[in-house]
A = this chain, B = another copy of it.
Amino acid sequence: MEGFLKELGSIIHTRDATALRVKSADFSWFSPIMSAALGNRQAEVILSPKSEEEVVRIAAACAKHRVPLVARGGGTGNFGQAVPLAGGAVIEMTGLDRIVFDKGNVTRAQAGIRIANLDTHLRKSGRELRMHPSTKKLATLGGFIGGGHAGIGTVNWGILRDRGNLLGLRVITIEETPRALELRGDDVNLVHHAYGVNGIVTEAELPLAPAYEWLDTIVVFDDFGRAAEFGMALTTSDGILKKLVSVHAWPVPHYFVPLKPYLPMGKAAALLMIGAETREAFEALVKSFQGKVTLCVPQDNIYEYTWGHTTMHALRADRSLTHLVCIFPKVDTLGSIRRVHQKLGEEAFLHLEFKRFNGYMTAEGVPLFRYQGFEQITRLYRAFEAEGARIANVHTFLLQNGGMKDLDDKQIGFKRSVDPHLLMNPGKVAGLDDLPGGISGATLEAAQLPASGWAY
């Protein structure tokens, strides 16, 4: 480590204990299982490069001195992807926050830019990102691409991995003489959602969407089944502009304290972003479902109660809660949702994020429940699957067990070519770079949860 540090020269770095603790954590505490499995692993140094040239110097030094490294964005991931399991260096990427170019409906920015900053810049000229996570204010572009999969806007554009949502990535390899690769076309998915195990992303090129005037909107319903039907109807109303369709069974809305005036006790609620110019058409749809609009204003913060943020608000109120994540089937989507809610609604409080997934309209379900151990969670996984939902395992930090990423030969070959010394985020790819002692304890148990993966 000392030899490594000497080579860093003017690159800002710190070994301050608080910094090491804070910059070695992410939001994996959403899962009590992962928390136990990850323990208090920490980096030995936090590096804060300000340019790609500094990133290249870091990559070369890591390769030369065999120092493990984890690239870190805003630290908002829920899956332990930013936790350094083998010590070494955390590279804080937020210093690389420049917009590289911006023309027409395409923008290219450095990986460390905060997504909200990029989006605010784009909206000034009538464009915006196709999708962003609920953590838009904290998360970086590179972090979203490396560890996220979808978000607000996915109801229009599908998920990040869908062809066309990510035009290019610039990646620095971890070699004594690092290379800068430009990945385009299908190759971007080698690095997307790979938890940063295969190169340091320094730039990303993205297609843009038109910046409509979005209205933060809440509609309440007497029962959840009706709210879910409405959510699907809105999602499949091709003429009505929307960016977010998120439906919550009571008591989930109870956790959204600042929204209390708009969320009557006991009611199911749809949290939405609706385009202003089709507001009348939207209101006609609401009326046909006997919903009641309690909020409809242009403020752009309602998304911070949806997707991953829903769990965060719930955990603020009750730390005994955790969640699981499923995708409902493309056929009989609403039937599956209804059955799951009827059978398990008392134990698992459901919310839905409607989305385009593999070309179909469906809903992601994120039930919140009080964690009682592996048997309970296994039982819940199986119960959801029995009703047609497929489970993404959000209680493991192992890349191939999450269910989103298929680590085939091409992926493994690419990993070896860009990171020949297996230094990048070690411990996240089982079988390739297991930490000493192998996989055991909570890690093993979590990896063995009967998750079915995310595909149709």
Residues of A at under 8 Å CB distance from B?
A: 104-106, 126, 130, 156-158, 162-165, 167, 184-186, 207, 209-210, 212-213, 233, 235-241, 275, 277-278, 280-285, 331, 356, 358-361
CB neighbours (8 Å) of A106 from chain B are 277
- Shortest CB-to-CB span from A228 to chain B, Å, is 15
CB neighbours (8 Å) of A359 from chain B are 233, 235-238, 361
A140 to B443: give the CA distance in the assembly, Å: 65
In the complex, the answer to whether B331 meets A157 with C-beta atoms within 8 Å is no
In the complex, the answer to whether A105 meets B212 with C-beta atoms within 8 Å is yes
In the complex, the answer to whether B164 meets A278 with C-beta atoms within 8 Å is yes
In the complex, the answer to whether B278 meets A238 with C-beta atoms within 8 Å is no
CB neighbours (8 Å) of A282 from chain B are 163-164
CB neighbours (8 Å) of A207 from chain B are 239, 241, 277-278
- Shortest CB-to-CB span from A362 to chain B, Å, is 12
In the complex, the answer to whether A278 meets B167 with C-beta atoms within 8 Å is yes
- Shortest CB-to-CB span from A4 to chain B, Å, is 38
Going nearest first, the 6 A-B pairs with the smallest beta carbon separation are: A236-B359, A158-B238, A164-B239, A164-B281, A164-B278, A165-B239
In the complex, the answer to whether B284 meets A162 with C-beta atoms within 8 Å is no
Can you list 22 A-B contacts with CB-CB less than 8 angstroms, sorted by A residue number? A106-B277, A157-B238, A158-B237, A158-B238, A162-B237, A162-B238, A162-B240, A163-B237, A163-B281, A164-B238, A164-B282, A165-B238, A167-B278, A184-B280, A185-B281, A185-B284, A207-B239, A207-B277, A235-B359, A236-B359, A331-B331, A359-B361
In the complex, the answer to whether A167 meets B277 with C-beta atoms within 8 Å is yes
In the complex, the answer to whether A239 meets B105 with C-beta atoms within 8 Å is no
In the complex, the answer to whether A237 meets B164 with C-beta atoms within 8 Å is yes
How many copies of this kind of chain does the complex include? 2
CB neighbours (8 Å) of A277 from chain B are 104-106, 167, 207
- Shortest CB-to-CB span from A149 to chain B, Å, is 13
A356 to B162: give the CA distance in the assembly, Å: 19
A280 to B165: give the CA distance in the assembly, Å: 11
CB neighbours (8 Å) of A213 from chain B are 104
- Shortest CB-to-CB span from A256 to chain B, Å, is 28
A392 to B280: give the CA distance in the assembly, Å: 30
Q: Which of B126, B130, B163, B235 has a CB less than 8 Å from the CB of A126?
A: B126
- Shortest CB-to-CB span from A55 to chain B, Å, is 25
CB neighbours (8 Å) of A278 from chain B are 163-164, 167, 207
CB neighbours (8 Å) of A238 from chain B are 156-158, 162, 164-165, 356, 359
A241 to B106: give the CA distance in the assembly, Å: 13
- Shortest CB-to-CB span from A163 to chain B, Å, is 4
A210 to B275: give the CA distance in the assembly, Å: 14
CB neighbours (8 Å) of A358 from chain B are 236
- Shortest CB-to-CB span from A293 to chain B, Å, is 14
CB neighbours (8 Å) of A280 from chain B are 167, 184-185
